[in-house]
Amino acid sequence: MKKINHKSLLKIFATGLLLLGTACETIELDLLDDPNAISLSQADLNFFLNSNQVTLAEFFEGTSASGGNGGMSNPGMEVTRLGHMNGLVYQNSYTANEFNFEWEQVYSTIISNNRALEPLAIEQEAFQHLGIAQIIEAYAVTTLVDFMGDIPYSEAVAGVSNPSRDPGDQTYGAMLDLLDEAIANLNATSAVTYTSDLFYGGDSDKWIKLANTLKLKLYLQSRLLSSGDSEFVNSTISTSGINAIIASGDYISSPADDFQFNWSSTDNNPDSRHPSFAGEFDSPGIIGDYMSNHLMNELNAGVNDKTVVDPRLRYYFYRQLDRNAENTVEQDCFGALPPAHYGFSIPFCTTDFPGYWGRDHGDNSGIPPDTGSRATFGVYPVGGVFDDSSFEPIVSRSIGTQGQGISPIMLSSYVNFMLAESALTLNTTGDALTYLTQGITQSINKVIAFGADQAAGSGFEPTETEISDYIDQITTNYMNATSDAERMNIIGTEYHIALYGNGVEAYNTYRRTGTPNDLQPIRAGAVDNFIRSFFYPTVSVSNNSNSDQKDNVTEQVFWDTNPATGFIN
């Protein structure tokens, strides 16, 4: 079977989605019938699917060339204080150009490849390939809906020029159907199998578990809707759908089934390291991201009724110094009074813990000479270095695991937190506290195992007692809570911590639940204009006459029926 260049394939198949997004054209049959052109039967199924799998990783995480600042996850982490948001105000923090590349990846690569792959897969009875492709498409499309609102789908895939946007709930319904089709295809007998699968090594059972887990996620995401709000997704459908998935047991419940992309230490031809590692450590000294003061403070002891340190702290963050800033040259807010809306109970400018030197939410001040001083990424999940209290400034790209990190797209720990929320709010099968403690346990175990080689012998590996003390304290706090709102905040806070590395689910969960309810406010002032959805990418409006730009970022997506003001900040 002849393999050909990606760009050539797209030209040959002309599948209907132009490079810059949404304008469509139909397949030219005379081109496909041209004896000088490559026919569908001559194309390589693996090519399309390999392309989509790599594209999915880049869609989620960005690329090394972007320095870890691309992808859907990073903005989601930044606005939810898992990372540092540099913008002074929400409205201007992310421009309409922010997601141009990701929009093109979905329409011009993932969907385009799938329209070309589908007839070929059916012809060759390659149902496994088709099922995997459909799951990737469902994840990417629903993520665009979650971040931006209504998007073109039904007319776009049908080849309509200037396709109109579908209502978000309708697209959710279509993606639930697509996931069911994917499961049916993965259960069918395939004449050929996918041997170059970058995620699950060609294991159809694991892909089916992922498909069901993504259905569970969509059900939970839309639980706030009533039957009067939508016929496609609502709380009644969510409850029955989640219970059916729980009863089947066919979802991600074990770390062995985690859906993650594994990056390598290869730094050229191509650079396959975790993009955030490449952006942070490639030059002498640190020139990349600031760490979030809120999260570093959260993981230390004495916060949110916790008297023990989070066992994941030294795996998430690495301290270059054993102190914080000491003057205004190192940190221009040093010694200043906090803004009035902070008061004195919210960390301002710095944390109370030596070496955990980051920035507040929305601090957009200049870059002082602190590149060898401030805290940086640890070993999890970007493949950095474990904090062994050596306090050595990082001056080499060869530190730690050299970028052999992961993109944690959907983990078993996440599923347990989702099921805890579902049990609490929808009364679905199972006990919320049991799911909560299982989620915390799986998250801690995964993080510790990920950095085990670096932590070994350091004397700072968490002991079994320290781990159990942490879980016991969360359990006690949950049992002492006097309302479901308090219990949901505990679930949401622990899920938030476990989501370090996944801004997609953090952004969704924050808007859906309003938790954690004590995130550090944006520094510029008390506001009620949190980004409830991002601007549409410029390419999506400039190339489609049926697409216009939203006026502001406070526009809520279809499943976000929470109050417009006073809910999140």
What pLDDT score does 525 carry?
87
CA–CA separation, 373 and 113 (whole Å): 46
218 vs 171, 504, 549, CA distance in Å? 11, 13, 26
- In the block, tokens 């060609």 appear at 202
381 vs 37, 170, 474, CA distance in Å? 44, 35, 23
- CATH number for 290-338+346-393+410-520: choose from 2.40.50.140, 2.60.40.770, 1.10.760.10, 1.20.120.840: 1.20.120.840
**Direct distance between the N- and C-terminal alpha carbons of the chain, in angstroms, rounded to an integer:** 55
pLDDT, the chain, mean? 90
CA–CA separation, 255 and 193 (whole Å): 24
> pLDDT 10s per residue in the chain (569 long)?
222 233 333 332 333 343 334 333 222 223 233 333 334 444 689 999 999 999 999 999 998 776 556 899 999 999 999 999 999 999 999 999 999 999 999 999 999 999 999 999 999 999 999 999 999 999 999 999 999 999 999 999 998 999 999 999 999 999 999 999 999 999 999 999 999 999 999 999 999 999 999 999 999 999 999 999 999 999 999 999 999 999 999 999 999 999 999 999 998 888 999 999 988 888 655 557 899 999 999 999 777 678 899 999 999 999 999 999 999 999 999 999 999 999 888 889 999 899 999 999 999 998 888 888 999 999 999 999 999 999 998 877 888 889 999 999 999 999 999 999 999 999 999 999 999 999 999 999 999 999 999 999 999 999 999 999 999 999 999 999 999 999 999 999 999 999 999 999 999 999 999 999 999 999 998 888 999 999 999 999 998 999 999 999 999 999 999 999 999 99
Query: Are the C-beta atoms of 403 and 385 separated by less than 8 Å?
Result: no
Provide the token pair at 332. Answer: 């221009």
Strands 151-152 and 165-166: antiparallel
159: left (phi over 0), alpha (psi -120 to 50) or beta: left
CA–CA separation, 508 and 212 (whole Å): 18
What pLDDT score does 209 carry?
98
Where are the domain boundaries for CATH 1.20.120.840 in the chain? 290-338+346-393+410-520
Query: Are the C-beta atoms of 315 and 379 separated by less than 8 Å?
Result: yes
What CATH code would you report for 6-251?
1.25.40.390
291 vs 85, 153, 374, CA distance in Å? 10, 37, 8
3-state secondary structure of 170: helix
**Exposure string over 201-214, b if 16+ CB within 10 A, otherwise e:** eeebebbbbbbbbb
Kindly give the interhelix angle for 204-221 and 412-426, rounded to the nearest 10 degrees. 40
Where are the domain boundaries for CATH 1.25.40.390 in the chain? 6-251
Cis peptide before 381 (omega within 30 of 0): yes
